[in-house]
Amino acid sequence: MMQTNSQFFQVTTRVLLGDYRYCSQTVLLRQGGDPNLESSAKVTILNRQHNTLCNEIIR
């Protein structure tokens, strides 16, 4: 019997670069390896977005 072990992650990043904020959002899929074979998990980027509303000047 085959067992599927997959997880979805949403990663939101906010970085301050001088007077500007840089924001991005990434959706990842982690497909687990087979524990019996000790294989490593595979990570795939499904979607990546940059939020332009976050690029405003910080006052």
- Contact predicate 30/7, CB 8 Å: yes
What whole-number distance in Å separates Cα of residue 27 and Cα of residue 31? Answer: 13
Chain CA centroid to CA 49, Å:
10
Per domain, the residue ranges of the chain are 6-55
Distance, in Å, from the CA atom of 8 to the CA atom of 27, rounded to the nearest integer, reads: 7
Predicted confidence pLDDT, tens digits, the chain (59 residues) = 455 678 889 988 888 888 887 888 899 998 876 666 666 788 899 999 887 667 554 44
Rounded to two decimals, the pTM is: 0.60
